[in-house]
Structure 1
Amino acid sequence: MNPGLVSAEASVAKVPADLRQVGAHPDHWYPVAWSHEVKRGQVVASSFAGEPIALVRPEQGELYALEDRCAHRQVPLSKGNVKDCRVHCCYHGWSYDASGKCDVPYLGKGKQPNGVRTYPACECDGIVFIWPGSLPAAPPPASLGAAGDKAYKTRSFGRVVNCHYTFMHENLMDMNHQFLHRRTTGKVTPRYLGKRAGEGWMELDYTFARPDSKPPLGESLIMGSFRLDTSKPRDRMTIRTEYPHQTLRFWTAGEEPVLSVWLGYTPVDAEQRKNRSFIHLSVRRPKIPGVLDLAWPVLTWFTNRVFEEDREIVEMEQAAYDAQGSDWNQEVFPPIRDLRELLAKNGRVMTPRQI
């Protein structure tokens, strides 16, 4: 038995269940693909928490999402082809429209079998979202951070990360983990400023200081730190979990953030031990035209390296959880205990079959 198990349980006493057994609640919009991955006249496979979903983009008309199985022999519709706004199964040619209604080419009218489930779908700032829940869909997202703002230059990236989505929320929200990035970002001293919270959301403020070193070039290009007195904590970062997504904004001066990040984590498998991360990282364009474009390769390298360091550590956390069989974490930072409670309250405890 973990010798710290009692104190660990006490530190998360308000959490109603093992947080890693709380699944993402399906009654929300979740990103499942980049828009460019679903080309005209194609059908693409995706998933939400083990539910196979086919994304269909007809030559004419809007993208739609169906359960990724043919009602006939259960083979994936994503292996089929798209014609005349319908997706045709690769096996016997059964076809489905955006409503999931089925048509069998060798049966007469009135003899058609039941179709397949449909999912509300939308696109926003280059990302395909689906609503996998049973409740009527809420209004779709209108914007994702500053990705649609021409005052910013945005890079979009992400990948499948082998961990429960809650590890992602905790990692970003707890800036005390900057020690992890010391070889990439240098010495950084974060200072927690405070918290705001409401129904289904919370956000934390931090400021930072660099008493012993200058910022690396990648960070300077993002934050404009090369023109700041970095010995004094004068910047501000706000990190927000608005279930089920996260945002990060960073100010160095003025009312508009110099950095705006939107992050979505969609569970891939039924056990929810993997998530596909979608990230829009937007940097405000400086007054001098072209400067940011020239610096973009360095910025890309820098942000990729930070993301990879985070990915490796959260996958280690998941591996430890799997080996131990339960959550042994001893969380001592009160805002992260509050975050864990928020995630548990807004998620859905998984069934034994899922776990």
Structure 2
Amino acid sequence: MHRLDIKQKTDIRLVDISPDFWYPIAWSKELRRGKTIGRYFGRQSIALIRPKRGPVFALENRCAHRQVPLSKGTVEGDSVKCCYHGWAYGRTGKCLDIPYLGKDENREKIINRVRSYPCREAGGMIFVFPGDPEKADKVPFPQLAQVNNPAFKTRQFNPSVKCHYTFMHENLMDMNHQFLHRRQMGQIRARYLGGETGEDFVEARYSFARTGTQQPLAERLIFGKHTYDPNKIQPVEEVVTIRTTYPYQRLFIHDKDGDLVMELFAAYVPNSPSGKSCQTFGLLSVLRPQTPLLIDIIWPVLGIFTNRIFQEDKEVVEMEQRAWNELGGDRNREVFPIVNKLRDLLINNGITH
């Protein structure tokens, strides 16, 4: 099928995200030693198990016996025991023990197993590979902002949003929506500087022209004071680059000297069988100012500022999802070329039913 045909016939909100990538499905801090929790990747229910010793592992969140969630079970050694009858499963998903059967009967019944998932921890997140496990070692692991760079300070954000994951990609890629954030950002206008596309990525670059004197405190503390002179053409103070490298999204801010001052990593993970909700896993790294401890002083201000921005985005994408529900399909009339290229990317790399 040619791309033009795909654009005409495919409703982007019905395109599932490809499972053949590494996806975060929980924060490391959510899973204590000797415990298990359950999470969804789309229609797949997954149990994450952290033994008292050793790394986290991930299994299908259903006992092979009665389909009860293993996330309700008990962690013992390097296995998890179903809460119902005590069937025990190891890291590979193989059933290790059925406690009420004798040894000979156990040997015959232990052919039961559940699916296991490639699993690893990085950047304070637990990742799984929900697709073909044979591809896991060949697929590049995402770069997680600047979490390992001591020159930056990183905060986590994790809003759960009641919308299809594609709305989130469109929201960040299209910086023309700054009017939405006028109460937080003041009066600014995005200036599109161009973009690039490839088989697995779309990138857009912007600067911002301030059209009023109001400048948020968090912005002023990080980037310095920007004055507005209506009689002069404003210089490009910072360049904001948004890049979707399927299936992740990143944002970079470089100052006028070309130095990186802020980086965002975001993954939007479908967390329900309906596909109409997703969990955001975000890492926001900010360059530490030269003044010692200044970043720690401004950190709470930055947190409040970014949370308000995210809440406004959350509200509007959820309104978009409700409109799709009510209209019975995608009625968007997109006119911004880079967003249309983004939509092509998400369709062409996703799973179309």
> So what's the TM-score if we normalise by structure 2?
0.92
CA contact (8 A) 1:12 1:337 kept: no
Q: Which moved more, 1:210-219 or 1:191-200?
A: 210-219
CA contact (8 A) 1:16 1:344 kept: no
Counterpart selection for 1:45 from 32, 38, 42: 38
For residues 256 and 270 of structure 1, the distance between their equivalents in structure 2, rounded to whole angstroms, comes to 42
> 1:192-223: CA deviations, max 9, x gaps?
1111122211111111111322321022233x
CA contact (8 A) 1:124 1:142 kept: no
Alignment-derived partner of residue 34 in structure 1: 27
Structure 1 residues 27 and 142: alpha-carbon distance in aligned structure 2, compared to 1, 3 A threshold: closer
Matches within 5 A, 1:220-231: 220-222=220-222, 224-226=223-225, 231=234
Structure 1 residues 82 and 65: alpha-carbon distance in aligned structure 2, compared to 1, 3 A threshold: same
The answer to whether residue 124 in structure 2 is matched with residue 126 in structure 1 is yes
Alignment-derived partner of residue 327 in structure 2: 324
Percent identity between the aligned chains? Answer: 47
CA contact (8 A) 1:47 1:268 kept: yes
Matches within 5 A, 1:267-306: 267-306=270-309
Structure 1 residues 317 and 78: alpha-carbon distance in aligned structure 2, compared to 1, 3 A threshold: same
Structure 1 residues 187 and 136: alpha-carbon distance in aligned structure 2, compared to 1, 3 A threshold: same
The Cα of 1:12 is off from its aligned counterpart by 9.6
Instruction: Give the count of matched residue pairs.
Output: 339
Q: Report the residue type matching 2:127 in the other structure.
A: F
For residues 7 and 266 of structure 2, the distance between their equivalents in structure 1, rounded to whole angstroms, comes to 26
The answer to whether residue 235 in structure 2 is matched with residue 235 in structure 1 is no
Counterpart selection for 2:72 from 59, 66, 79: 79
The Cα of 1:147 is off from its aligned counterpart by 2.0
Secondary structure of 1:248's aligned partner: strand
Q: Which moved more, 1:231-240 or 1:168-177?
A: 231-240
Secondary structure of 1:309's aligned partner: helix
For residues 32 and 139 of structure 2, the distance between their equivalents in structure 1, rounded to whole angstroms, comes to 25
CA contact (8 A) 2:186 2:215 kept: yes
For residues 205 and 143 of structure 2, the distance between their equivalents in structure 1, rounded to whole angstroms, comes to 22
The Cα of 1:225 is off from its aligned counterpart by 3.2
Counterpart selection for 1:66 from 23, 45, 59: 59
For residues 82 and 90 of structure 2, the distance between their equivalents in structure 1, rounded to whole angstroms, comes to 12
CA contact (8 A) 1:15 1:341 kept: no
Alignment-derived partner of residue 24 in structure 1: 17
The Cα of 1:140 is off from its aligned counterpart by 5.6
The Cα of 1:143 is off from its aligned counterpart by 3.5
For residues 197 and 94 of structure 2, the distance between their equivalents in structure 1, rounded to whole angstroms, comes to 43
Segments of 5+ residues of structure 2 without an aligned counterpart are: none
Segments of 5+ residues of structure 1 without an aligned counterpart are: 1-10, 351-355
Secondary structure of 2:170's aligned partner: helix
Alignment-derived partner of residue 307 in structure 1: 310
Q: Which moved more, 1:88-97 or 1:132-141?
A: 132-141
For residues 254 and 234 of structure 1, the distance between their equivalents in structure 2, rounded to whole angstroms, comes to 9
For residues 221 and 111 of structure 2, the distance between their equivalents in structure 1, rounded to whole angstroms, comes to 59
Q: Report the residue type matching 1:67 in the other structure.
A: E
> 1:242-265: CA deviations, max 9, x gaps?
111100000123343111000010
Q: Which moved more, 1:238-247 or 1:208-217?
A: 208-217
Structure 1 residues 123 and 327: alpha-carbon distance in aligned structure 2, compared to 1, 3 A threshold: same
Q: Report the residue type matching 1:120 in the other structure.
A: P
The answer to whether residue 105 in structure 2 is matched with residue 106 in structure 1 is no
For residues 316 and 305 of structure 2, the distance between their equivalents in structure 1, rounded to whole angstroms, comes to 17
Q: Report the residue type matching 2:120 in the other structure.
A: C
Structure 1 residues 89 and 21: alpha-carbon distance in aligned structure 2, compared to 1, 3 A threshold: same
> So what's the TM-score if we normalise by structure 1?
0.91
CA contact (8 A) 1:190 1:208 kept: yes
Q: Report the residue type matching 1:266 in the other structure.
A: V
For residues 6 and 77 of structure 2, the distance between their equivalents in structure 1, rounded to whole angstroms, comes to 56
Secondary structure of 1:14's aligned partner: helix
Q: Which moved more, 1:224-233 or 1:199-208?
A: 224-233
Q: Report the residue type matching 1:325 in the other structure.
A: G
Structure 1 residues 123 and 228: alpha-carbon distance in aligned structure 2, compared to 1, 3 A threshold: farther
Structure 1 residues 140 and 106: alpha-carbon distance in aligned structure 2, compared to 1, 3 A threshold: farther
CA contact (8 A) 1:221 1:292 kept: no
Structure 1 residues 71 and 81: alpha-carbon distance in aligned structure 2, compared to 1, 3 A threshold: same
Structure 1 residues 163 and 233: alpha-carbon distance in aligned structure 2, compared to 1, 3 A threshold: same
Secondary structure of 1:105's aligned partner: coil
CA contact (8 A) 1:259 1:283 kept: yes
The answer to whether residue 94 in structure 2 is matched with residue 96 in structure 1 is no
Over the aligned positions, Cα root-mean-square deviation in angstroms equals 1.8
Secondary structure of 1:153's aligned partner: strand
